[in-house]
Chain A
Amino acid sequence: MSNRGTSVRGAGFARKRAALTAGISIAALLLTGCVQSQREEDTGAEGDSAIDSTFVFAASSDPKSLDPAFASDGESFRVSRQIFEGLVGVEPGTADPAPLLAESWETAEDGLSTVFQLKEGVTFHDGTPFNAEAVCFNFDRWYNWTGIQQAESTSYYYGSLFRGFADSPENAIYESCEANGDNEVTINLAKPFAGFIPALSLPAFGMQSPTALEEYSADEIGGTAEAPSLSEYALGHPVGTGPFKFDSWDVGQQLELSIYDEYWGDKGQITKTIFRIIDNPQARRQALEAGDIDGYDLVAPADTQSLKDAGYNITARDPFTILYLGMNQAIPELEDPKVREAIAHAIDKEALVAQTLPEGTKVATQFIPDVVDGYNEDVTTYDFDPERAKELLAEAGYPDGFEVTFNYPTNVSRPYMPTPEEVFTNLQAQLADVGITVEPAPAAWSPDYLNQIQATPDHGLHLLGWTGDYNDTDNFIGVFFGQEKQEFGFDNPELFAALDEARGMSDRDEQTEKYKEINEQIAEFNPAIPLAHPAPSLAFAPRVTSYPASPVNDEVFTDIELSE
Chain B
Amino acid sequence: MLRVIGKRLALLIPTLFGLSILLFLWVRNLPGGPATALLGEKATPEAIARINELYGFDRPLITQYLTYMGKLFQGDFGVSINTGRPVLEEFATRFPATIELTVIALIFAVGVGVPLGYLAARHNGRFIDHSSVVLSLIGITVPVFFLAFILKYLFAIQWSLLPPDGRQDPRMDATHYTQFYVLDGLLTGEYDAAWDAFLHLILPGLALGTIPLAIIVRITRASVLEVQNADYVRTARAKGLKESTIRGSFILRNAMLPVVTTIGLQLGLLISGAVLTETVFAFNGIGRFLRDAIFGLDYPVLQGFIIFIAVLYALINLIVDLSYSVIDPRVRVQ
Chain A residues in contact with chain B, CB under 8 A? 2-4, 6-7, 10, 13, 16-17, 19-21, 24, 28, 31-32, 35-36, 39, 54, 56, 62, 64-65, 72-73, 148, 151-153, 156, 221-222, 225-230, 234-235, 250-254, 274, 276-280, 283, 286-287, 289-293, 444, 446-448, 450-452, 454-455, 464-466, 479, 483, 485-486
Chain B residues with CB under 8 A of A446:
32, 36-37, 40, 295-297
How far in angstroms is the closest Cβ of chain B from A249? 11
Chain A residue numbers with a CB within 8 Å of B292 are: 279
Residues of B within 8 A of A455 (CB): 33, 35-36, 43, 45, 48
**Distance to closest chain A CB from B168 (angstroms):** 8
Chain B positions within 8 Å of A464 at CB level: 41
Given contacts A250-B284, A253-B168, A292-B170, 9 further A-B contacts (CB under 8 A): A16-B159, A225-B56, A252-B93, A252-B289, A283-B282, A293-B170, A447-B296, A451-B31, A455-B43
B28-55 Cβ-contact flags toward A at 8 Å (1 or 0):
0001111111111111110110110111
Q: A13, B37: Cβ atoms under 8 Å?
A: no
User: Which residues on the A side are within 8 Å of B289 (C-beta)?
Assistant: 252
Q: Are A148 and B164 in contact (CB under 8 A)?
A: no
* A3, A17, A234, A454: the one within 8 Å of B163 (CB): A17
A228 with B173, Cβ < 8 A, contacts A151-B51, A152-B51, A286-B156 known? no
16 CB < 8 A contacts A-B: A4-B192, A10-B171, A32-B195, A152-B50, A225-B54, A228-B54, A228-B84, A229-B85, A279-B282, A283-B281, A289-B164, A292-B170, A448-B32, A455-B36, A466-B41, A485-B45
Contact A229 B79 (CB under 8 A): yes
B223: min CB distance to chain A, Å: 30
Contact of A16 among B36, B161, B288 (CB under 8 A): B161
B residues 141-156 near A (Cβ < 8 Å) are 152-153, 156
Asked, given contacts A156-B42, A229-B86, A451-B32, whether A54 binds B171 with beta carbons under 8 Å apart, the answer is yes
A283 touches B284 (CB 8 A): no
- B46-88 interface mask toward A, CB cutoff 8 Å, 1 = contact, 0 = none? 0110110111100000000001000000000011000111100
Pick the residue among A3, A227, A278 that contacts B79 (CB under 8 A).
A227
Contacts of B288 in A (CB 8 A): 252, 279
Residue ID in chain B nearest A160 by CB atoms: B42
Q: Is the CB of B157 within 8 A of A450?
A: no
B197-224 CB mask vs A (1 if < 8 Å, else 0) is 0010010000000000000000000000
In the complex the two chains form, is B166's CB within 8 Å of A56's CB?
A: no
Q: A17-B161, A65-B84, A280-B279 are in contact. Are A252 and B169 (CB under 8 A)?
A: no
How long is the Cα–Cα vector from A314 to B191 in the complex, in angstroms?
37
Q: Are B157 and A447 in contact (CB under 8 A)?
A: no
Contact B54 A148 (CB under 8 A): yes
Q: Is there an interface contact between B191 and A32, defined as CB atoms closer than 8 Å?
A: yes
Closest A residue to B285 by CB, please name it: A252
B253 near A: Cβ within 8 Å? no
Judged by a CB distance under 8 angstroms, whether B320 is at the interface is: no
Expressed in whole angstroms, the Cα–Cα distance for A3 and B35 within the complex equals 41
Contact assessment for B156 and A56 in the assembled complex, using a CB-CB cutoff below 8 Å: no
B279 contacts across to A, CB distance below 8 A: 279-280
Q: Which of B54, B56, B161 is within 8 Å of A20, CB to CB?
A: B161
- Is residue B188 contacting chain A, with contact meaning CB distance below 8 A? no
B160-192 vs A, Cβ < 8 Å mask (1 yes, 0 no): 111111111111110010000000000000011
From A19, A56, A72, contact of B161 by CB (8 A): A19
Tell me the minimal C-beta distance from B113 to chain A in angstroms: 19
Query: How far is B37's CA from A151's CA once the two chains are assembled, in angstroms?
Result: 15
**A225 CA to B169 CA in the complex, in Å?**
39
User: Does B321 lie at the interface of the complex (its beta carbon under 8 Å from any beta carbon of A)?
Assistant: no
* Residue in contact with A447 in the complex, picked from B37, B50, B86, B153, CB distance below 8 Å: B37
- A253:B167 contact, CB within 8 angstroms: yes
Q: Which residues of A contact B281 (CB under 8 A)?
A: 283
Residues in A with CB closer than 8 Å to B191 are: 31-32, 35
Contact assessment for B192 and A36 in the assembled complex, using a CB-CB cutoff below 8 Å: yes
A234 to B152, CA, bound (A): 35
Residues of B within 8 A of A19 (CB): 161
* Interfacial residues of chain B within 247-304, with CB under 8 A of chain A in the complex: 279-282, 284, 288-289, 292, 295-297, 300
Across the interface, do B165 and A251 meet the contact criterion of CB distance under 8 Å? no
* A138 CB, min distance to chain B CBs, angstroms: 21
Which residues does chain B contribute within 8 Å of A230, judged by CB atoms? 83-85
Choice from A7, A64, A225, A280 contacting B280 with Cβ under 8 Å: A280
Top 7 closest pairs, chain A to chain B, by CB: A447-B32, A152-B47, A252-B284, A227-B79, A35-B192, A447-B37, A230-B84
Closest to A285 in B: B157
- A283 and B165 contact, CB distance less than 8 A: yes
B170 touches which one: A17, A39, A56, A483 (CB < 8 A)? A56
Question: What is the CA–CA distance of A316 and B45 in the complex, to the nearest angstrom?
Answer: 34
B93 touches A251 (CB 8 A): yes
CB of A450 within 8 A of CB of B162, answer no
Name A234's closest neighbour in chain B (CB-CB). B84
Which of B36, B55, B166 interacts with A253 by CB under 8 Å? B166
Pair A251/B90 contact, Cβ less than 8 Å: yes
Chain A contacts of B152 at CB under 8 A? 286
| CB-CB nearest in chain B for A274 | B170
Query: Across the two chains, which residue of chain A brings its CB closest to B155?
Result: A20
A1's nearest neighbour on chain B, judged by CB, is B173
Closest to A416 in B: B41
B-chain residues with CB within 8 Å of residue A280 when the two chains form the complex: 279-280, 282
Please determine whether A151 and B54 come into contact, CB atoms closer than 8 angstroms.
yes
CA A287 to CA B33, docked complex, whole Å: 34
Q: Do B39 and A153 touch across chains, with their CB atoms under 8 A apart?
A: yes
Judging by beta carbons under 8 Å apart, are B173 and A3 in contact? yes
- Contact A35 B282, beta carbon cutoff 8 Å: no
